[in-house]
Amino acid sequence: MKIRQAGELGLIERISKKIRLDKSVVKGIGDDTAVIKGTGNKYLLFTCDMLIEDVHFKRKQATPFQIGWKAMARNISDIAAMGGVPKYALVSAGLDPRLPVSFVDGIFDGINALAKKFKINIVGGDTSRSNKIVIDISLIGEVEKKGPVLRSGAREGDAIFVTGFLGGSIKGKHLDFTPRLDAARALVKNFKVNSMIDISDGLLLDLWRILEASGRGALLYEDLIPASNKADSFRQAVTAGEDFELLFTMSPKEAERFMRRYSMKLGVPVSLIGEVTSKRCGYRLIGKDWKEDRITGKGYCHF
């Protein structure tokens, strides 16, 4: 069997079955970050993300600053999805030796700009020769022990929310987005958020990840999903990925309190787009014509 036949999700599942963890690991493969026992009232969060030329960006369409910015932003977004705070980063870079040194300076200017904004310490890394630019950042964060928000916490009846607008990111947003860290921290400090993920591979696929981890179904309403005016179609808005918005669920009681008292104070637009159902009800979309259709976790996958 080839990797393309297994697919990205199948490959990850295959690898995860071979791994054994000790008691220091609270959560391993299968969420936005790993959760590791820390000290005092905090857990450690640990994540990494690669940014690869011609996969995540085109050299002719992105400035060096944007390449560095996106490389760091993707990792911060994972920490945000857990409700945590980023703290320490390692930066590894595969670089074409023919690149001007000024180009590399620009990449690290982008990385440093976000590190400074979110008070992240860059403590080391590695460099290697590569025909294409590869930036791999490992990021350590922390979160209160009562606070890590996992994908597996969605409950039947939960309201489903999303920040921002979806789709059309390839037209520019994917290179200069700001991770929703401040919004995520405000959410977990003021409300009981049952589950959360950042939308990197499309709304339908990333919500499917929450539902699979939680053993639930969902009902979405097309009219309520905030498609960007840059999206080419509704389908593109919910499957293309690279939005890096927050997708989260709350109990009806918390959702009512959030909508009544706080949604306008979060600093970003928030939309209620559906509800979590029992698994037997499946994954469904109510269209603008009120026709109900079964949907699947379609989105961006590398293989």
Instruction: Read off the pLDDT of residues 40-84 as tens digits, 9 standing for 90 and up.
Output: 899 999 999 999 999 999 999 999 999 999 999 999 999 999 999
Kindly state whether residues 170 and 290 are assigned to the same domain: yes
Residues 104 and 19 reside in one and the same domain = yes
Domain containing 83 equals: 3-144
Question: Is pLDDT of 132 > 80?
Answer: yes
Both structure tokens of 191: 């409300």
The model's confidence at residue 301, banded by pLDDT at 50, 70 and 90, is low
Q: What is the mean pLDDT of residues 27-45?
A: 93
201 and 108 part of one domain? no
Q: Does residue 301 lie in a domain region?
A: no
Q: Any idea what the CATH number is for the domain that residue 91 is in?
A: 3.30.1330.10
What pLDDT does 126 receive?
97
Residue 302 lies in a domain: no
Q: Do residues 16 and 139 both lie within one domain?
A: yes
- Asked if residue 282 lies in contact with residue 212, where contact means CB atoms within 8 angstroms, the answer is no
* Strand 246-250 versus strand 195-198 pairing type: antiparallel
Structure tokens at 278: 């029992």
Reported as a pLDDT band with limits 50, 70 and 90, residue 5 is confident
Element (H, E) at 84: none
Residues of the chain above pLDDT 70, percent? 98
What CATH number does residue 179 fall under? 3.90.650.10
Which of 121, 144, 167 lies at the terminal end of a domain, its last residue? Answer: 144
Residue 207 or residue 241, greater confidence: 207
pLDDT of residue 78: 98
The pairing of strands 121-129 and 134-144 is unpaired
Residue ending a domain, among 129, 144, 159, is 144
Question: What does the DSSP 8-state code read for residue 18?
Answer: T
| Any domain includes 47 | yes
Q: Are 193 and 83 in contact (CB under 8 A)?
A: yes
Whether 299 is in a domain gets the answer: no
The Cα 4–Cα 99 span in angstroms is 32
44 in the same domain as 161: no
Tell me: do 136 and 158 sit in the same domain: no
Verify that 101 and 27 share a domain, yes or no: yes
Phi, psi of 291 (to 5 degrees): -80, 135
Amino acid at 19: I
Residues 6+ apart with CB under 8 A from 33: 45, 46, 47, 78, 79, 81, 82, 84, 141
DSSP for 142-156 reads EEETT----GGG--T
For residues 96 and 186, membership in a common domain is answered with no
pLDDT at site 266: 86
- Smallest CA-to-CA distance from 166 within 223, 221, 220, 236 is with 236
> Are 11 and 138 in a shared domain?
yes
pLDDT range class, residue 6, cuts 50, 70, 90: confident
d(CA 10, CA 24) in angstroms, rounded, equals 26
Write out pLDDT tens, residues 159-191: 999 999 999 999 999 999 999 999 999 999 999
pLDDT band at 288; cut points 50, 70, 90: confident
Report residue 264's pLDDT band, with 50, 70 and 90 as the boundaries: confident
Identify the domain boundary among 144, 162, 192. Answer: 144
For the chain, what is the domain count?
Answer: 2
Give 37's strand partners. 43
The answer, yes or no, to whether residue 251 has pLDDT greater than 60, is yes
Residue 88 lies in a domain: yes
pLDDT value of residue 262: 78
Packed helices 64-81 and 181-190: angle between N→C axes, nearest 10 degrees: 10
Do 51 and 120 reside in the same domain of the chain?
yes
Per-residue confidence at 297, pLDDT binned at 50, 70, 90?
Answer: low
Nearest Cα to 196, choosing from 234, 158, 222?
A: 158
Asked if residue 53 is part of any domain, the answer here is: yes
Cα–Cα nearest to 48, from 72, 13, 69: 72
194 plus 276 within the same structural domain: yes
Query: Is pLDDT at 302 greater than 70 in this prediction?
Result: no
Q: In this predicted model, what pLDDT tens digit does every residue of 87-108 receive, in sequence order?
A: 999 999 999 999 999 999 999 9
Residue 29 lies in a domain: yes
- Average pLDDT for the chain: 94
